[in-house]
Each structure stands twice: as structure tokens, then as C-alpha cells.
Amino acid sequence: MILNLNNIFDQFSPDFIIFLPITFIAVLINISWLFFSSATNWLPTRINLSIFLFNTNIIKTIFQQTNPSTAPWVPLITTIFTLIFFINILGLLPYAFTATSHISLTYSIGIPLWMAVNILGFYISFNSRLSHLVPQGTPSYLIPLMIIIETLSLFAQPIALGLRLAANLTAGHLLIFLLSSAIWVLSNTIFIASITLIIFVLLFLLEIGVACIQAYVFTALIHFYLTQNI
């Protein structure tokens, strides 16, 4: 079998099962999950208790260093983390489509949140936000240059926010695809294929960690921008 490197990006194309998009099937599964996660008894079930513990640990992890003014944003940031986390994890399953590997989704989440945080910051304390463009002690002849640099860094935040998530997931998925293809090509050579399989398993475990860390990094940066503006 010849490894076609021109089609390494085909893994990001949506797949079909019996002429139905897997995305449509995934939506139906997510909707059916509501019937299991909703509490119908006066005592919580194992699923409800697991969801409660998961949300509690998320809040403790993300909001370790925060202030009371960010409390209204806790449900939104927790929801964003849960969404990205499960998309990243489910994207590692065979025939699954990782939507967060596309900048169209990551920018659709990152840019509105970044704009909301900064608009709120300028609305609450306009003068204080403007003073951040010029660090204290800056010489007068460097003030125009510092304003340009700080403005560019401000607008670079949403670009880096969405690009970091998509790039890390895309790179990991491409490595998994290349290694799995190499295992299939080298299946006639048992020794080399076995070594490649061990590397593949270790890489897959690493990608699980990357999927969790990237969800945390995305929401932690949103929380950091929020604490800077409020």
C-alpha cells in the first residue's frame, strides 16, 4: 500500500453512515443525553452526581485566582470549557469530526468573548483601560510607539486565542493519522510495526492530555482577559 501524503487532510472531512452525516447523528445523541442528565428523582443519580462533581472541579480549577466581580461569568466560562473539552475528547474517537480543529469554530467562540470582555472593560473604566496602553514610567518619546505596540498586542489576543486551539489539535490529529497509516504500511514488518504501534499509543495518550489542556488554556485565557478588564 502506498501512503498518499496529499490526502492527510481528508480526516477533517465529515463522514457519512448510511447516507446520514455523522454530525447529524452526534446531534441526536447529544439531545438524547438531556434525558439522562436531567434530574427526575429527588435523589441524584450516578450520572447527575458525576456531572455535579465534574462542574465543581472545573470551577475550582479555572477560578483559582479570581475576584468577586467575575462571578456572573462563571456559568458562561464553565459552559465554554465543557463544550471545548468534550469536542476535543470525542474528536479522538474513530470516524469522529473534531470541530475545534477548524479556525471557523475557534474564532467564532474566541472573538465574541474577547470583544465582550474588552467592551465591558472600556465601559466600566475607560480611563483605566486607556492607561494600560502606556506602561508607567515610559519616556515621552516612546509613548506613540508603545501605544501602537500595545494596541497591536490587544488585537492579537483573539487571533492567538483561536489559532492556538485549532493549530494544536490539527497537529496532533495529523501525527495520529500519519502514524496509523505507517502502521498499516509497515504491517508486513512485525518488529518495526510493533515499535510504531507503541509510539502511536503513547502519542494517543498524549493527545488526550493535549485535548484537556487546550480546553483549559482557552478558558483560562478568557478568564485572564476578564480579570484584567474588570
pLDDT digits (tens, 9 = 90+) for 99-136: 888 888 889 988 998 888 888 888 887 777 777 777 77
Q: Where are the alpha helices (DSSP H) in the chain?
A: 22-37, 46-62, 74-90, 103-124, 126-131, 143-185, 190-229
* Cα(146)–Cα(168) distance, integer angstroms: 31
CA distances from 69 to 113, 132, 223 (A): 17, 20, 12
What pLDDT does 10 receive? Answer: 57
Q: Give the three cell numbers for residue 89.
A: 475528547
pLDDT digits (tens, 9 = 90+) for 35-77: 666 656 666 667 677 777 777 777 777 777 777 777 788 888 8
What pLDDT does 72 receive? Answer: 80
CA distances from 22 to 11, 16, 41, 103, 150 (A): 13, 5, 33, 20, 44
> What is the C-alpha radius of gyration for the chain, rounded to an integer number of angstroms?
22
What pLDDT does 9 receive? Answer: 55
- Is the pLDDT score of 8 beyond 70? no
Rounded to 10°, the helix 103-124/190-229 angle is 20
Residue 1: pLDDT band (50, 70, 90) is very low
- The gap from C-alpha 187 to its chain's centroid, in whole angstroms, comes to 34
CA distances from 149 to 133, 137, 162, 194 (A): 8, 16, 21, 51
- The gap from C-alpha 210 to its chain's centroid, in whole angstroms, comes to 10
The residue ranking higher by pLDDT, 91 or 230, is 91
Within 10 Å of residue 25's Cβ, how many Cβ atoms? 13
* Cα(38)–Cα(36) distance, integer angstroms: 6
pLDDT digits (tens, 9 = 90+) for 124-182: 877 777 777 777 777 777 778 888 888 888 888 888 888 888 888 888 888 888 888 88
Work out the average pLDDT over 172-195: 85
What pLDDT does 44 receive? Answer: 66
* Cα(40)–Cα(24) distance, integer angstroms: 27
In terms of average pLDDT, the best of 11-15, 133-137, 194-198 is 194-198
Q: Give the three cell numbers for residue 204.
A: 494517543
Residue 19: DSSP 8-state:
T
Q: Which DSSP string corresponds to 202-224?
A: HHHHHHHHHHHHHHHHHHHHHHH
* Cα(106)–Cα(139) distance, integer angstroms: 38
- Is the pLDDT score of 213 beyond 60? yes
11 close to 172: Cβ distance less than 8 angstroms: no
